[in-house]
Amino acid sequence: MSTEAAPERDQSPPTLTLCPGGPMIVRGDVVVQDEDGVRHRSHRGVSAVCRCGKSALAPWCDGTHKLLPGGR
Ligand code: FES
């Protein structure tokens, strides 16, 4: 049995930032439910959710938006 205390988790709600021509940046733990009802969980401190619909890693951004007209 470990005597180490579990690391404290940030209990504040995630914050969202919409990037023009790009993804939605999420700071904090997040669950994204896709159009098929599949839930994708991220425990990364920062995640990028695809908004262009072209990512091969959906629902996460893979940078493909940069190749699209208006993508940055
Ligand atoms: S927003 Fe980046 S790949 Fe879709």
pLDDT in tens, 27-40: 998 999 999 999 99
Ligand 1 centre and the CA of 68: distance in Å? Answer: 9
The verdict on residue 25 lying in a domain is yes
What integer pLDDT is reported at residue 5 of this predicted model? 63
The verdict on residue 38 lying in a domain is yes
Ligand 1 centre and the CA of 4: distance in Å? Answer: 40
Residue 69: pLDDT band by 50, 70, 90 thresholds? confident
What integer pLDDT is reported at residue 3 of this predicted model? 57
The verdict on residue 21 lying in a domain is yes
Average pLDDT, whole number, for the chain? 88
The verdict on residue 52 lying in a domain is yes
pTM value > 0.95: no
**Structural domain of residue 32, as residue ranges?**
15-67
The DSSP secondary structure of the chain, one letter per residue, reads ---SPPPP---SPPEEEEPTTS-EEEES-EEEE-TTS-EEEE-SSEEEE-SSS--TTTTB--SGGGGSTT--
The verdict on residue 72 lying in a domain is no
The verdict on residue 1 lying in a domain is no
The verdict on residue 5 lying in a domain is no
The verdict on residue 50 lying in a domain is yes
